[in-house]
Amino acid sequence: MSFPFSEIHPEPKANAALLVAEAVDRKRPDDATAKTLTGLVRQDAGQVSGSTVPKNEKEYTAEMERHDRDRDATYTALSLIAQGYAVLPGDPGRQDKAARLHDKLVPDTLAFLYGSMHTESTILNERLAYLESDEGAAAVSALGLGPIVATLKEKMAAFEAALAARVEKREARPTPIYKAGARLDRSLRTLYSYLVSVESPDYARECFADLAPLLASARANATRRAPSPKTPAQ
């Protein structure tokens, strides 16, 4: 069975490919064919790395990450304030409104703020849509949370603008990252097939062990991104 290299994002795959090449060279120091193939892997991994974060793109990445931290902090603050009002004694009506709003803001945990930025954006957009709905806006107004919601909207828009600028910069690269990644996939497949032919599939998988956790992570992320079936309206 071949290794599904294309399922792994090019950037971490390039780093792991260098470890694979080192492992093969270490295990087969006298194998000239293997050395030629690991040389191709290194060359193609270098092309991917050269396509990832060139110096003129670092400022865009830093800006995007700064805005991501800002939206994380603002959403966390909004959730904590709602939670605080929910337990603050003296006004049962306010407590009830705050508790229901907090349940909408944090139906489980805030862990999504520290995972995939793209998944986070999807969830935050859904939560913001609720805050701007008739029900959500009424709760926000009653609790005096309008300025914080406005700040959250501003921070989310700033992140999206920074992300768009970074994407535009990436698309202007001489060698698009996924094109370079496809070449790396071919060289990895060639090396993998060679090891299977001269040794065994188990031997090849052992040499490629550094790529296994990346594949598992990529598949887990794909599963989380998959849309869930819509439930019929009640």
- Residue 223: CA atoms inside 13 Å, Cβ hemisphere, count? 6
CA atoms within 13 Å, Cβ hemisphere of 95: 6
- How far apart, in whole angstroms, are the C-alpha atoms of residue 37 and residue 35? 5
The pLDDT of residue 139: 95
Look at residue 217 in the predicted model and tell me its pLDDT. Answer: 84
- Residue 54: predicted pLDDT: 52
What are the mean pLDDT values of the chain's consecutive 10-residue runs (234 residues total)? 77 89 94 95 87 66 91 96 94 94 94 88 95 96 96 95 83 69 91 94 92 83 60 47
**What is the gyration radius of the CA atoms in the chain, in angstroms?**
24
* pLDDT at residue 234 in the model: 42
Spatial contact of 20 and 41, defined as CB atoms under 8 Å apart: yes
Contacts of 72 (CB under 8 A, 6+ apart): 113, 114, 120
Q: What's at 99, amino acid-wise?
A: A
